[in-house]
């Protein structure tokens, strides 16, 4: 299951994980609902290699503003505490797996 990332646990997660994949989403977002099952599957598949989590933009305005998230879904790839990539919009599972594998 994808980890719930919040305004108040963000810093600790980034500091304690080599690779973090963050899905910025909202319940009312149709494309987000299409990406959600992929995020959940990959969170399980990569659980020992990377932290894959979700940020609900409606409940976590600080993170949403900090990263300038204007469109959702937006995926951020954080490696060693630094932004290493970004994807806006729907993504297929093989494409997302490729991006994660490249960063590992």
Query: Of 20, 21, 32, 69, which residue is the catalytic one?
Result: 32
Secondary structure of residue 33 in the 3-state scheme: helix
Active site residue 24: no
C-beta of residue 24 within 8 angstroms of C-beta of residue 55: yes
Give the Å distances, CA to CA, from 66 to 47, 97, 98: 26, 26, 26
Q: Which of 13, 29, 36, 84 is catalytic?
A: 29
32 is a catalytic site residue: yes
Which residues are annotated as catalytic? 29, 32
């Amino acid at each position: 299951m994808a980890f719930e990332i919040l305004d108040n646990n963000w810093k600790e997660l980034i500091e304690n994980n080599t690779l973090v994949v963050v899905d910025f989403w909202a319940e009312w977002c149709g494309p987000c609902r299409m990406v959600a099952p992929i995020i959940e599957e990959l969170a399980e598949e990569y659980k020992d290699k990377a932290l894959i989590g979700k940020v609900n933009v409606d409940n976590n305005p600080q993170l949403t503003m900090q990263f300038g998230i204007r469109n959702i879904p937006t995926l951020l790839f954080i490696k060693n505490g630094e932004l290493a990539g970004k994807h806006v919009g729907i993504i297929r599972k093989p494409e997302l797996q490729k991006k994660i594998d490249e960063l590992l």
